[in-house]
């Protein structure tokens, strides 16, 4: 059946059209609650309390993403005093009255964070975190396991999450429609293929959609040694050498790391997969890596020429 034209569509039909394409729409005094189709999908809870096991859950399929409406009530509530709320709000740069904050927190809202961008190569499947929108205001404890998953996807170690976090998967269909599809417990392991792909896919997406930001983390001020940050690493020019700090989960040991060097490429295959096509060539025999501080692997590249590198990666790097 053909969809009604915009002029003929009722308000309800317009709402359904938006929700089926991942737009969260809330009418005054209501929370969006897309209609269930009777089928279900799996997603996973990663508790902030590391003594608790991760848990595989199921949710009902609906038009669009069902998880924000499903998980919002799980984040409802606030046990903080007014003074504690003021302190957390000030730390977050949000000088809002405690009564207003408490009202919002009692409603409960879930926000999403994209871990893996959907692409044609991966079947247009994206992976997302869902977390308490007010986690920073509530001062919730850090979720080390969720933060480690983000690190495996190429995000820097400074990207931290707090409180209980849920992880699920979308599939984008023709016409901009989305649906929830299964994400299972086994996919949280460090060898999961979707994590390996995410590092490169996220970097490519940044290059295509935010080229200035992408260039900024690769380039540098010509008047000082170059340095920068990429998906899962930082780097700096040390004169005759280039130093790369690879961010890995805390607890990673030397046997968990594998790095190979080529004249113009660094390949990391453990604990995650990464390929860095270098701006210039290096002396392979002079390249090495070692364990740094917890959560870091230090990679040292000996330049073939001591000339400064204005960027780490070749201009065609994705």
CATH number for the domain harbouring residue 270: 2.60.40.790
Question: pLDDT tens, 75-108?
Answer: 988 887 888 877 877 776 667 777 777 777 788 8
CB 286, CB 272: distance < 8 Å: no
Question: What pLDDT score does 68 carry?
Answer: 93
User: Last residue of some domain: 203, 237, 265?
Assistant: 203
Tokens of 11: 């308000």
240 shares its domain with 293 = yes
189 shares its domain with 238 = no
**Confidence tier at 290 by pLDDT (50, 70, 90):** very high
Question: pLDDT tens, 3-58?
Answer: 555 456 665 565 555 555 444 444 433 444 455 556 899 999 999 999 999 999 99
Tokens of 304: 């073939």
Domain that holds residue 147: 11-203
* Domain contains 221: yes
| DSSP class per residue in 235-294 | EEE-SSEEEEEEE--TT--GGG-EEEEETTEEEEEESS-EEEEBSS-B-GGG-EEEE-ST
Strand, coil or helix: what is 193? Answer: helix
142 shares its domain with 276 = no
CB 25, CB 15: distance < 8 Å: yes
17 shares its domain with 118 = yes
73 shares its domain with 167 = yes
96 shares its domain with 176 = yes
User: Last residue of some domain: 203, 222, 248?
Assistant: 203
* Domain contains 313: no
CB 314, CB 279: distance < 8 Å: yes
104 shares its domain with 190 = yes
193 shares its domain with 165 = yes
* Domain contains 5: no
* Domain contains 309: no
**What number is the average pLDDT over the span 294-303?**
93
17 shares its domain with 67 = yes
* Domain contains 167: yes
145 shares its domain with 76 = yes
78-82, 203-207, 230-234, 281-285: which is most confident: 281-285
Distance CA 215, CA 228 (A): 10
Name the domain count of the chain: 2
Q: What global pTM score does this model have? A: 0.58
User: Last residue of some domain: 138, 171, 203?
Assistant: 203
194 shares its domain with 251 = no
244 shares its domain with 164 = no
Tokens 């070749």: give the residue: 314
Percent of the chain residues topping a pLDDT of 90: 37
Cα–Cα distances (Å) from 132 to 67, 76, 157, 273, in that order, read 12, 9, 20, 30
Rg, the chain, Cα only: 22
pLDDT, averaged across the chain: 81
The percent helix, strand, coil of the chain (3-state, each to 5) is 30, 30, 40
**What number is the average pLDDT over the span 152-165?**
85
Q: In the beta sheet, which residues pair with residue 127? A: 116, 169
**Confidence tier at 224 by pLDDT (50, 70, 90):** low
């Amino acid at each position: 059946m053909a969809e009604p034209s915009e002029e003929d569509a009722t308000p309800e039909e317009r709402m359904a059209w938006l929700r089926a394409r991942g737009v969260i729409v809330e009418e005054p005094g209501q929370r969006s609650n897309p209609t269930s189709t009777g089928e279900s999908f799996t997603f996973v809870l990663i508790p902030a309390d590391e003594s608790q096991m991760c848990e595989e859950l199921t949710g009902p399929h609906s038009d669009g993403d069902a998880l924000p409406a499903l998980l919002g009530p799980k984040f409802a509530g606030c046990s903080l005093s007014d003074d504690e709320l003021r302190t957390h709000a000030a730390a977050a740069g949000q000088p809002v009255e405690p009564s207003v904050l408490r009202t919002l927190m009692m409603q409960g809202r879930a926000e999403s964070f994209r871990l893996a961008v959907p692409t044609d190569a991966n079947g247009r499947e994206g992976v997302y975190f869902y977390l308490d929108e007010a986690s920073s205001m509530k001062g919730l404890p850090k979720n080390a396991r969720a933060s480690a998953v983000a690190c495996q996807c190429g995000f820097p170690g400074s990207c931290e999450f707090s409180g209980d976090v849920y992880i699920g998967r979308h599939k984008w269909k023709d016409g901009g429609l989305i649906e929830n599809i299964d994400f299972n417990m086994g996919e949280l392991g460090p060898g999961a293929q979707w994590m390996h792909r995410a590092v490169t896919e996220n970097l490519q997406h940044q290059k295509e959609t935010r080229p200035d930001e992408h260039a900024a983390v690769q380039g540098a001020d010509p008047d000082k040694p170059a340095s920068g940050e990429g998906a899962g690493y930082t780097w700096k020019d040390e004169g005759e050498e280039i130093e790369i700090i690879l961010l890995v989960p805390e607890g990673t040991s030397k046997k968990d790391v594998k790095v190979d060097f080529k004249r113009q490429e660094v390949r990391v295959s453990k604990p995650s997969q990464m390929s860095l096509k270098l701006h210039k060539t290096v002396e392979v025999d002079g390249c090495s890596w070692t364990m740094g501080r917890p959560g870091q692997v230090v990679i040292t590249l000996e330049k073939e020429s001591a000339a400064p590198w204005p960027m780490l990666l070749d201009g065609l790097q994705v």
